[in-house]
Amino acid sequence: MWGLCVGVLVVICIVTHWVYRWRNPSCNGKLPPGSMGLPLLGESLQFFSPNTSSDIPPFIKQRMKRYGPIFKTNLVGRPVVVSADPDLNYFIFQQEGKIFQSWYPDTFTEIFGKQNVGSLHGFMYKYLKNMMLNLFGPESLKKMLSEVEEAACRTLQQSSCQDSVELKDATARMIFDLTAKKLISYDSTRSPENLRKNFVAFIQGLISFPLDIPGTAYHKCLQGRKKAMKMLKNMLQERREMPRKQQKDFFDYVIEELRKEGTVLTEAIALDLMFVLLFASFETTSLALTYAIKLLSDNPLVFKQLQEEHEAILERREDPNSGVTWQEYKSMTFTFQLITETVRLANIVPGIFRKALREINFKGYTIPAGWAVMVCPPAVHLNPTKYQDPLAFNPKRWEGMELNGATKHFMAFGGGMRFCVGTDFAKVQMAVFLHCLVTKYRWRPIKGGNIVRTPGLQFPNGFHVQIAEKDRRKREPGYRTIH
C-alpha cells in the first residue's frame, strides 16, 4: 500500500513538473506574455474556433487586449510568438533567410507536401520563384490577357442562363480551368477525371483541426490531396512519354528542367509546386473576387464609381467590341483601389508563419531559437490607429497610393522575398472579371453571402446571385446597374 502511494506521488510530481514546464517554457531572456494553453493541445481549439466577425479574429483581439501586440501561445503542439506589431512584422520579412525562415506546422507540410515551395529555402526557393515568374510575370500576363477576358465572359454568359449561380463556385471553376490550362494544358471538358473535384475536397478540410480520422474534414483534405497528386503524377508521366510539339506549357518546361544534367529539380518538387500553384491560383482569388462582389452589392456608391471607370474605358475605344488592352488594364485606377481594399478587409491569409533561426531580442522580449512566429495580417489591416473606420469598405482610402509590395501596414500578399509571385495574376483576373461584369451584366443577390472565419475566410452558405445581360435586363428591383 505504501509503495502504491509513493508511486502515485511520483507520477503526480512528474505530471505537475511537466505541466509547469509546458506553461513556463525555458528562455534565456524575457518571453512575451501569454498563455501556452492545455498540454499538447495548447490553444489550438480557440484558434480554430469559427467566428462571423469581420474584425480582428477574437482569438487575436482578446489576447492583444490582455497582453499587447506581441504575445506567446501554443498551436498544434508548437510554441508560437504571435505578432500584431508592424515593426516586428517588418523586421521578420526583412530578415527572411538570415534570422527567420519560412515555416509552417507539420499539418501544413502534410497537406501541401514536404517539398512544397513554402518549405524550401535559399537557392532552391529562388530557383522555383524564377520558374513561376516565367508563367505569372508581367510579360506573360500581357499575352494571357485575352484568355482571361474570354474565360470571364464565358463564365458570365453561362451564369446569366441560370436562375441563380453560386458565385464562389463559378469563379473558382473559371480560374481553376484557366490556370490548369496554362500549367498543364488540362481541359475539364475532355478529361475523363475531374481534377478540380479533388481540390474541392482538399480545400474543405484545409483549415480545420488536424485530426486524421475517417469522416473528419482533415482526413478528407488529405484524401483529396492524395487523389489530385496521383492525377498530376500520371499526367506528368504521360507527357514525358509523349512530348508535344505545339505550344509549350509549364509541364513541358518542368520536363526540360528534369532532363538537364545536374538539375536541382526533382519530380517530387515539381509535382508539389504544381499542386500549390493550382490551389493558390483559384482558391484565394475566387474568395477575394466573391468578397469584392458582395461588398459592391452592399455599397451602391462604390459600385457606381467602379462602373463609371469601366464605362469610360468603353467610350474611349474606337471599337467598343474589342477586347481589354494592357494599357486599359493599367488605367483601371479605381479598380486597383477596390481590389486593395477588398483584400485588406478579406484577410484571406489569417497568419504568415516563420521560424526563428537563432535567439532574437526585440522590444524587450526574447524569441528563442526554433520557436515559430506568426505574423497576423488582420491585426495590421484593421488597426484603427492606421486606418480610419477600419471595418468600412472605402477604396478611396488608397487614392494616390501605389502598392507594388508589402509595407508595415499592408501585407495581404505576404512580404519580403516571399511576396506572392501570383499577385499580378490575381489582380488581372479580378480586374478583368469586374470589367466584364459591370459593363455587360447586372446582378442581384439571391441568398447567402454570410462569412465565417475558421480562421480563414469562408462562405458556408455560398453567395448566390442572379445575373442578367444588360440588353436583356429584367425589371425586377435589386439589380446592380446605373439607371
- Looking at residue 117, the DSSP 8-state letter turns out to be G
Residue 79 pairs in a beta bridge with 74
Give the number of other Cβ atoms within 10 Å of residue 232's Cβ: 22
Question: Phi and psi for 166 in degrees, rounded to 5?
Answer: -85, 115
420 among annotated binding-site residues: yes
Residues 6+ apart with CB under 8 A from 395: 302, 305, 334, 337, 338, 340, 341
3-state DSSP assignment of residue 81: strand
The answer to whether 67 and 32 have CB atoms below 8 angstroms apart is yes
* All residues at 6 or more sequence positions from 36 whose CB lies less than 8 Å from its CB, including other chains: 22, 23, 25, 42, 43, 72, 73, 74, 79
The contacts found for 180-183 with CB under 8 angstroms, 24 or more apart, are 180/278, 181/147, 181/249, 182/135, 182/144, 182/147, 182/249, 182/250, 183/135, 183/249, 183/250, 183/251, 183/274, 183/277, 183/278
Let me know: does 463 contact 445? Beta carbons within 8 Å: yes
**Cα(483)–Cα(481) distance, integer angstroms:** 6
- For 436-464, the DSSP string reads HHHHHEEEEEEEE---EESSSEE-TT-EE
Grid coordinates of 413: 500578399
Q: Report the DSSP beta bridge partners of residue 467.
A: 443
Question: Is the peptide bond preceding residue 455 cis, with omega within 30 degrees of 0?
Answer: yes
Q: Three-state DSSP class for 74? A: strand
Task: Kindly provide the b/e burial profile for residues 14-31, where b requires at least 16 CB atoms within 10 angstroms of the residue's own CB.
Answer: eeeeeeeebeeeebeeeb
**End-to-end CA, the chain:** 89
Binding annotation for heme = 420
Binding annotation = 420
